[in-house]
Structure 1
């Protein structure tokens, strides 16, 4: 059975944000504006997305 995934896209610049928020964005694997990655849908990644929700867009991948 395949693990559930979600697509996360950086829609706002990291410039001017705190170091912890930048670390969350880097931890998700996002590198630049409008960059998208597929990440595993787990409690850890959901927490990271929730912390930087104002900077990213998250979609469920079926």
Structure 2
């Protein structure tokens, strides 16, 4: 059975980088770049999709999210 999502999917989500990628795994750095974030305090507005949510979940300790 598929897991129910807490938030509705389809709108946009605002992601801001709050942590440094220094001394992090290479895949976490690549995920930040994939989200369009590579410097501190940069903000991007992204489509709210399962793929983007997964990327945010991977680097949740380095970003803040606003719906």
Per the normalisation by structure 2, the TM-score is 0.83
Question: Bigger relative contact order, structure 1 or 2, given CA contacts below 8 A and separation 6+?
Answer: 1
Please provide the CA RMSD for this pair: 0.8
Matched, 1:42 2:21: no
Structure 2 spans left out of the alignment, 5+ residues: 1-9
Matched, 1:59 2:33: no
Match of 1:27 in 2: 34
Q: Aligned residue pairs: how many?
A: 58
Per the normalisation by structure 1, the TM-score is 0.90
Name the larger-Rg structure.
Answer: 2
Higher relative strand content: 1
